[in-house]
Structure 1
Amino acid sequence: MLYPTRPSVIKEVAFQDRSLALCPLEVISRQDSFILATILFHLSNTLGALQISTMITSGIYGITLLQTYVYLHNKCNDPTSFKAAICFLWALDTLHQIFICNMAFTYTVTDFGNVLILTQETWAMIAIIIVSAFMHTGVRSLFCLRIWWLSGKNWMLVSIIMFCSLGELGTLLTFAVKNITVVHYQLFGLGALSSEFYAATILTIVSDSFIAISQVVLLLKRRSNVRRTDSMIRTLIVYSVNTGLLTTACALTLLITWATMPDSLIYDIFFSALPTLLFNALLATLNARKELREKAHGTAGLISLPLAPAAPTSSNISTQVSQFQDSQEAAFNAIEIKIERSEQIV
């Protein structure tokens, strides 16, 4: 059994949990069935939530690992520094997953049978907060680099996104430091840090929403009369909306669960999954470029010319030949410009 049977330990657990703070001590000692039911509820919202968080993040990390492998083995023209940044983010994501597994191992194996440990945070939980903060900023920096290219080096647009992202980084680091110095690792004392948590989560929602909206608006401005280019732009818009909605919905759910379930760790499921989801969204967008470029180049070099209803006469055949060569050269130049433009988009 994971719950203790000694009355003294049960009383300590009851008063560590804010949901039991209003229960008189003598009432708790006389109602064993109520105590056991409360402790089981306590476990399902703490240890159970941490276990679900470990399973979900492990699954997403597996997808991210595959996406990283595909990106590094694709022949792309990204700068070496950009690829190095992707590798660094993958290393942070791996470290993030190691900390999550360490946290689950500590609660379920190392401290098995000690319910009191569920009232305190481990060092791995603090490390998860710090790594997540740097992952969010790193991934959004690469998104901003793509937006900077797409917008024609619009510094104002990129500065707004980076301001929100750096603000989130600062508030999360403040949250981690106060967690150690003010709350002293007490899990149910995190309510004192709600202002920092709300600020960080709201900045997360604003940053991810702004990234998605910016990409959609910039891509809509790139539309042309070329069917292949417009099809590619529509695909990129779908990618931008889907990835932006996914991370924004995760952050919004994180905010709601923190506000409505302060005595549980349900919010940790979404907090742990958010950095890996954000990194996976970036990799999915990068890996889609190869297929999109192949579609853009498919038959772009083919030119169809209508056949004349009647054969040309000998008097104007030289004029038509010269006009045909001029129009063909102009068509090839136009196609070359459109292909170059499509490569800049993806």
Structure 2
Amino acid sequence: MHFVLRCLARLTMTSSAVDIPKTVGALLVGGLFASVLFGFSNLQALFYFRSYQDDPLRLKLLVAFVWVMDTIHIGFLWGGLWFYLITSDGMPAAIDQIPTVLMVVIFTNTVIGVCKDCFFGYRVFMLSKRNWCLTTLIVILLCLRLVSAILTSNKMSVLITLTFAAPAGMDAFTTGALVYLLRQHRLEHGRLNHILDRLLLYGVETASFTFCGSITTALCWLLMKDNFIFAGVFCCMGKFYTNMLFAR
């Protein structure tokens, strides 16, 4: 996911042309929102380990791994903000520099997103009674998402918008599949309708956050290429993925 670093690097400007509120300020606001979402994910993880002690070990390990990656993500995100605001003393010239800690933010963001996609892909596979055609389509979409990111990092900047928007398509498809499958089970198990209704509600609500976040990032990239607002939104995407995963 070095493409985001390339995106930031393209904003090389003279010191007099730098708009601090829309560059470092946008990253700071993104960091603050990401911190709030990190607090929610901590509560969700604690609730999960206290309430679902009988879950399979592999699921507990997944939750623990995602929580660790989420913690690393927020730590290095604030490390990047420290570089811009403290180490560089808020100087406009620092905008031209990309701190190494932001590479870790981008990496953890990608890892959490992939874990979320794999988890929901597996749920679709099980709920569809091992429907390989539907699951294969999800795997293809996931591979396209990863390939677009790799190609973008190798100078194909025309794919940057696709890379930002791809998670939205992935979320829309997997959520739609889960909603359809849960509605099928709702008809088969009438006494569990209230539980399935809650699952449907949680599914739509949590997916809407990641969908809107991805679309907003892509639109900010397309329409506001002279600032870091798209990067501020992108900073929160890893937290959206974590909260979406823990909410299920």
Is the CA contact 1:67–1:283 (under 8 Å) kept in the aligned structure 2?
yes
Indicate the residue corresponding to 2:235 in structure 1.
272
Residue 35 of structure 2 corresponds to residue 58 of structure 1? yes
Q: Distance in 2 between matches of 1:223 and 1:139?
A: 24
Aligned residue runs from structure 1 range 104-119, under 5 A:
104-119=81-96
SS in 2 for 1:262: coil
Using the size of structure 2 for normalisation, the TM-score is 0.88
* Cα deviation digits, residues 281-332 of structure 1 (max 9, x gap): 12112xxxxxxxxxxxxxxxxxxxxxxxxxxxxxxxxxxxxxxxxxxxxxxx
SS in 2 for 1:159: helix
Indicate the residue corresponding to 1:135 in structure 2.
112
Aligned residue runs from structure 1 range 185-204, under 5 A:
194-204=157-167
Alignment CA distance shift 1:225-1:218 (3 Å): closer
Specify which structure has the higher proportion of helix.
Answer: 2
Residue 199 of structure 2 corresponds to residue 236 of structure 1? yes
Percent of aligned pairs with the same residue?
23
Residue 167 of structure 2 corresponds to residue 171 of structure 1? no
Query: C-alpha displacement at 1:145, in angstroms?
Result: 1.6
SS in 2 for 1:112: coil
Number of positions where the alignment pairs a residue of Structure 1 with one of Structure 2 = 238
Indicate the residue corresponding to 1:247 in structure 2.
210
Aligned residue runs from structure 1 range 320-335, under 5 A:
none
Residue 186 of structure 2 corresponds to residue 209 of structure 1? no
Q: Which amino acid aligns with 1:112?
A: D
Indicate the residue corresponding to 1:94 in structure 2.
71
Q: Distance in 2 between matches of 1:268 and 1:212?
A: 25
Query: C-alpha displacement at 1:169, in angstroms?
Result: 2.8
Select which of 258, 271, 281 maps to 2:221.
258
Indicate the residue corresponding to 2:126 in structure 1.
149
Residue 43 of structure 2 corresponds to residue 103 of structure 1? no
Query: C-alpha displacement at 1:170, in angstroms?
Result: 3.5
Structure 1: runs of 5 or more not aligned: 1-14, 21-34, 183-192, 286-346
Query: C-alpha displacement at 1:140, in angstroms?
Result: 1.2
Is the CA contact 2:217–2:230 (under 8 Å) kept in the aligned structure 1?
yes
Query: C-alpha displacement at 1:223, in angstroms?
Result: 2.3
Alignment CA distance shift 1:64-1:173 (3 Å): farther
Query: C-alpha displacement at 1:49, in angstroms?
Result: 0.6
Answer with 115-124 or 63-72: which moved more.
Answer: 115-124
SS in 1 for 2:130: coil
Indicate the residue corresponding to 1:223 in structure 2.
186
Is the CA contact 2:44–2:246 (under 8 Å) kept in the aligned structure 1?
yes
Alignment CA distance shift 1:81-1:279 (3 Å): same
Let me know the Cα RMSD of the aligned residues.
Answer: 2.2
Answer with 249-258 or 156-165: which moved more.
Answer: 156-165
Query: C-alpha displacement at 1:162, in angstroms?
Result: 2.4
Select which of 14, 17, 36 maps to 2:13.
17
Indicate the residue corresponding to 1:24 in structure 2.
none
Q: Distance in 1 between matches of 2:146 and 2:66?
A: 15
Q: Which amino acid aligns with 2:38?
A: Y
Structure 2: runs of 5 or more not aligned: 1-10
Is the CA contact 1:168–1:201 (under 8 Å) kept in the aligned structure 2?
no
Is the CA contact 2:12–2:95 (under 8 Å) kept in the aligned structure 1?
no
Using the size of structure 1 for normalisation, the TM-score is 0.64
Q: Distance in 2 between matches of 1:113 and 1:212?
A: 42
Alignment CA distance shift 1:135-1:75 (3 Å): closer
If you compute each CA radius of gyration, which structure gives the higher value, 1 or 2? 1
Is the CA contact 2:77–2:102 (under 8 Å) kept in the aligned structure 1?
yes
Q: Distance in 1 between matches of 2:212 and 2:12?
A: 32
SS in 1 for 2:186: coil
Query: C-alpha displacement at 1:163, in angstroms?
Result: 2.2
